[in-house]
Structure 1
Amino acid sequence: MSWLNRVRNSISFLPKRQVAENLWHKCKKCDSMVFLKEWEDNLFVCPRCDHHDRIRAHQRFAILFDEGKYDELAAPEAREDPLKFRDTKRYVDRLKAARTATEERDALINARGQVEGRTAVVGVQDFAFMGGSMGVAVGSAFLAGVRAAIEARAPYIIFTAAGGARMQEGILSLMQMPRTTVALAELREAGLPYIVVLTDPTTGGVTASYAMLGDVQLAEPGALIGFAGQRVIEQTIREKLPDGFQRAEYLRDHGMVDLVVPRGDLRATIGKLIAYLAPESEAEAA
C-alpha cells in the first residue's frame, strides 16, 4: 500500500447523511446564490432581485394565517379517472405519482384560520400537483371552501396557481368553470367577499373562471397571468407582444389586477380588505 493510500484511508469522513445537502439556493431569475436560510426567512423571495418563487400550500398557509395556526379542511370525495384516460401513462398512475411526490390528495387545499384577527377560509392551488390543474377534485374542493366560508360567515380567499384544466378529465374538467361560478353566486348571495390572489403561474381555464371573478384581484410580483400562451397569441395576431405582457404589473397597469402585493405584505393587505368587506361573524361579534 502506498503512503498516499495510507494517508487517505486514515482520514475519517463524515457519513454522507450527516452533511448538509444544500446550504444555498440559486435564484431562477438572477442566478444569485443565496444562503438557504436567508431565502426561507425572506418568505422564499430572492433578496437580490425580488423574484417570488413558487411555494407549497402549507408554506402559504403558514405565511398567511396569524402565528401560522390553521385548521385544514377535509378534501371532499371525487370520482377518479372518470374517463379511464391513458396517454403515455395511465391517469391513475399519474395521480399516484403526484400524491407520492406532494403528499396531498389533489391540487386545491382549503384551511380555516385567523388573518389579522379575522376569520377567513383560504384555498391554495398547489402547482406541484400536476401543475395545479383543474379537475373534478379541484372543483369539488372549491365548492367545499365556498360553503365552509358561508357557514362561518367569513370571506373566501383563493390563491391560484394552475396550468389550466386537467386534460385527462376532458369535458368534465371544463365543467368546473360554470360549477365554480355558481358557487361564487352563492357566496355573493350570502353577502360575503371573495378575494383572489393570482400567483405564478395562473393560466388557461382557471383564469377563464374563478381566478378573474374576485371582488378584489391581487397578484404577487412578476406572476405570469393569462389564458393562452404568449407564443400562441403572437402567432394568432401576427404581432410582437409588448415587454412584460401577461405579467402581474402589466395587468395592473391595464386594469385587470387591482394591486400587486409583495408576499411579505399579503397578510396585512388581506387583513385590511377583510375588515373593509366582511361582516363580523357571530363569534367575533360576541
Structure 2
Amino acid sequence: MSWLERIRPALSFLTKKETPDNLWTKCRGCGQMNFHRELVDNMNVCPRCDFHERIGPKERFRQIFDGGNYERLATPSVTEDPLKFRDQKKYTDRIKAARAATGDPEAFAIAEGRIEGTSAVVGVQNFAYMGGSMGMGVGEAFIAGAEAALNSRAPYVVFTAAGGARMQEGLLSLMQMPRATVLTSLLREAGLPYVVVITDPTTGGVTASYAMLGDVHIAEPGALIGFAGQRVIEQTIREKLPEGFQRAEYLHEHGMVDMVVHRKRLKAQLGSLLGVLTHAPAKAA
C-alpha cells in the first residue's frame, strides 16, 4: 500500500466545496504563485516582484479613503443596448455577465469621503467590467462624479483603467469624450482640483479624453498608457519603438505623467497633493 492510499481516508473530510478556488493567485509579472490572503494584505502588489495587480472599485475605495469609510454615490441609469448590437453574443448578455462578475451596474463607480482629512469625490474605472470600456453608462457616471464634486466644492480624483470606447454603442460611446471634457473644464473654472491616477491599462478614447486632462497626473508603476497599441504604431511609422514605450516610467521620463507612485504610498501622496491644491492646513506627520 502506497503512502497516498494510507492517508487518503484521513483527507476524506476535505470536500471540493470546502477548498477555496482562489487560494492562490499567479502573478502576471513574475509568474510566481502568491497566497491570496498575503496578496490582499499587501494591497494586491506582488511581494516578490512588486507587480501591481488590477483592482476594482470596492478595494480601491477601501484603500484610498480614511479608515475605509466612504459613501457610494448613485450613478444615472442609461438606455441599455441602444443599437440592438450583437456580435458573438448579445450586448445585453455581456452586460448581465459583467454585472454578475463585478457586482457593479457599470464600469465606473463613484464615492465620496476623506483622503488624509481632505474631502474628495473619487471615481474608479473597473477593467474587470468589459475591459473598463467607455460607453454611455461610464460617461454619465463620470459626469455625475464631477457634478458631485462641483456641488460639494471638493476635489475630483479619478482612477482610470480602460481598453477604450465600447464598440457595442458606436458613436454614442465616442460622444462621451467631449462630454467628459466639458466637465473637466467646469471643474477648472470652479477652481476645483481634478487629479487623475492612471492605472493599468489606460488606452484608447479614455486616454484621448479625461485621462489626460487632469491638473496632476499620477501613474501606478508599470501601468500601460497609450492611445493605439504598440504594434499598430510600429506598423504605421515603420520604426521599432523603444523598450518600455507606453509604460508609466517611460512616460514619466518624457513628461507625459507627473509622477509614478507605488500603491503603498498613493494615499499619502494624494492627501498631500489635495491639501496643497485646496490650501488646507498641513497635516502633522
**Cα deviation per residue 1:106-141 (whole Å; 9 max; x = unaligned)?**
100000001001100000000000000000110000
**Cα deviation per residue 1:65-123 (whole Å; 9 max; x = unaligned)?**
00111100011111111111111111111111111111110100000001001100000
Structure 1 equivalent of residue 283 of structure 2: none
Matched AA of 2:80:
E
What is the alpha-carbon root mean square deviation over aligned residues?
1.8
Q: Which moved more, 1:26-35 or 1:183-192?
A: 26-35
Gaps of 5+ in 2: 281-285
**Residues 10/60 of structure 1: CA separation in 2 closer, same or farther (3 Å cut):** closer
Structure 2 equivalent of residue 115 of structure 1: 115
**Cα deviation per residue 1:39-79 (whole Å; 9 max; x = unaligned)?**
11110001111100001111000000001111000111111
Q: How does 1:1-286 map to 2 (within 5 A)?
A: 11=10, 12-278=12-278
TM-score after normalising by structure 2: 0.93
Q: CA deviation at 1:193?
A: 0.6
**Residues 100/246 of structure 1: CA separation in 2 closer, same or farther (3 Å cut):** same
CA distance in 2, matches of 1:32, 1:102: 25
CA distance in 2, matches of 1:248, 1:255: 10
CA distance in 2, matches of 1:32, 1:99: 30
| Aligned sequence identity (%) | 64
Matched position secondary structure for 1:80: coil
Matched position secondary structure for 2:158: strand
CA distance in 1, matches of 2:26, 2:183: 41
How many residues align structurally? 277
Matched AA of 1:269:
Q
**Residues 117/16 of structure 1: CA separation in 2 closer, same or farther (3 Å cut):** same
Q: Which moved more, 1:119-128 or 1:15-24?
A: 15-24
Matched AA of 1:68:
G
TM-score after normalising by structure 1: 0.93
User: Structure 1 stretches (4+) deviating beyond 4 angstroms?
Assistant: 6-11
CA distance in 2, matches of 1:9, 1:37: 27
Contact persistence 1:153–1:279 (CA under 8 A): no
Q: Which moved more, 1:77-86 or 1:123-132?
A: 77-86
